[in-house]
Amino acid sequence: MKVARASYIAGCTGTSNVLAGMHYGIHVYGTMAHSYVMSFADELSAFRAFARDFPQNAVLLIDTYDTMQGARNAMAVAGEMASRGHRLRGVRIDSYETIDELAALSRRVRAICDEAGQTEVQVFLSGDLDEYRIEELLKRGAAAGAFGVGTRMGTSEDVPNLGGVYKLVEDSSGPKVKLSTGKATLPGRKQVWRVRGNGGAMRDTIALREEPPPPDGAALLAQAMAGGRTITQDSLEAMRGRCHDRLDGLPPALRDLHATPQPPVGLSDRLQDLRDQMYRTTAGQDAEKPGRAKKKTRRRL
């Protein structure tokens, strides 16, 4: 449920989770399973039953037995749907051994759809896809109108856990700072300002909360909870729109799948001054500052 919600906010157009579709109002796609097809006497009967039950949003899974024959059966059903005033939304391929094979299958299926006059039927590809496999499919000329991403969207394969630690930066007595090597913090309550220009984000500035905004700066932090309860009432569509706008405004290099540039983030002058002052007063004039290597001392036993 939560994965479907978060994925929709991030930009996915729908979900295969029927309950999430009902609860959040998200479009439901790709709900036909191989077991559904196998429960009928033949594939064509399964397709006809599915199209009858979902005439407005039918996507047929065509690779249970033979993908090319499945595509031809789907085109027969598409013609029957058209005679009733409906349109087959798409066909889906979920079974493959290599990316090259999946790309080739998609092109052959696309040709079958076009030859049947069903040029608006989309070819959906799915099956353990992620952004890198999708990129490879596109490089290999896959004829895909959409991709179904599930497992690798809902799990964090490369970083399976996230360590979260509470860091105190201010209390009723004023700003606080931690000086541990590699874990030093910035003191005080803060706001992050995104400065835009040339059609997108140019840099982010971390500042103290009470500081005035920089020219052309937009605040990124907003209060979401008070008294232990959420206070925001944004709709799912509003959150989705905001996410799209933020992503669209990032510099192209930060949206590249393979480039790893350092994001343009800096500190305001007032925050830097407060940090330096607290380093001096907290640890003395010779206190180690972040980024400065600590000298190793040898002890004679």
When pLDDT is cut at 50, 70 and 90, the band that residue 292 belongs to is very low
- At 94-118, the pLDDT tens digits run 999 999 999 999 999 999 999 999 9
Distance, in Å, from the CA atom of 258 to the CA atom of 249, rounded to the nearest integer, reads 19
Distance, in Å, from the CA atom of 181 to the CA atom of 131, rounded to the nearest integer, reads 36
CATH of the domain at 107: 3.20.20.70
| Buried b / exposed e along 76-115 (16+ C-beta atoms within 10 A) | ebbeebeeeebbbbbbbbbebeebeebbbbbeebbebbee
Q: What are the φ and ψ backbone dihedral angles of 112, each rounded to 5 degrees?
A: -65, -40
- At 1-12, the pLDDT tens digits run 999 999 999 999
pLDDT score at 133: 96
User: Between 292 and 83, whose confidence is greater?
Assistant: 83
Q: What are the φ and ψ backbone dihedral angles of 80, each rounded to 5 degrees?
A: -65, -40
Do residues 268 and 207 make contact, with C-beta atoms less than 8 angstroms apart? yes
Mention every residue, 6+ apart, whose C-beta is less than 8 A from residue 128: 151, 152
Strand partners, 196: 201
When pLDDT is cut at 50, 70 and 90, the band that residue 30 belongs to is low
Distance, in Å, from the CA atom of 166 to the CA atom of 116, rounded to the nearest integer, reads 61
User: Between 288 and 128, whose confidence is greater?
Assistant: 128
| Buried b / exposed e along 272-289 (16+ C-beta atoms within 10 A) | eebbeebbeeeeeeeeee
Instruction: Give the amino acid at 182.
Output: G
CATH of the domain at 268: 3.20.140.10
- At 114-165, the pLDDT tens digits run 999 999 999 999 999 999 999 999 999 999 999 999 888 888 888 888 888 8
- Residue 40 and residue 150 in one domain: yes
Q: The tokens 């609860």 sit on which residue?
A: 23
User: Between 118 and 234, whose confidence is greater?
Assistant: 118
- Residue 38 and residue 143 in one domain: yes
- Residue 126 and residue 231 in one domain: no
Q: How many CA atoms within 13 Å lie on the side-chain side of 93?
A: 28
- Residue 213 and residue 133 in one domain: no
Q: Both tokens of residue 273?
A: 């001054």
Residue 53 within a domain: yes
Which segment, 39-43, 57-61, 217-221, is predicted with the most confidence on average?
A: 39-43
Residue 300 within a domain: no
When pLDDT is cut at 50, 70 and 90, the band that residue 289 belongs to is low
Q: The tokens 């929709």 sit on which residue?
A: 8
When pLDDT is cut at 50, 70 and 90, the band that residue 297 belongs to is very low
Distance, in Å, from the CA atom of 143 to the CA atom of 73, rounded to the nearest integer, reads 19
pLDDT score at 285: 45
Distance, in Å, from the CA atom of 270 to the CA atom of 277, rounded to the nearest integer, reads 10
- Residue 44 and residue 141 in one domain: yes
- Residue 110 and residue 185 in one domain: no
Q: Which among 154, 186, 220 is the end of a domain?
A: 154
Question: Residue 139: which domain range?
Answer: 32-154
Lowest mean pLDDT among 145-149, 205-209, 267-271: 145-149
Residue 251 within a domain: yes
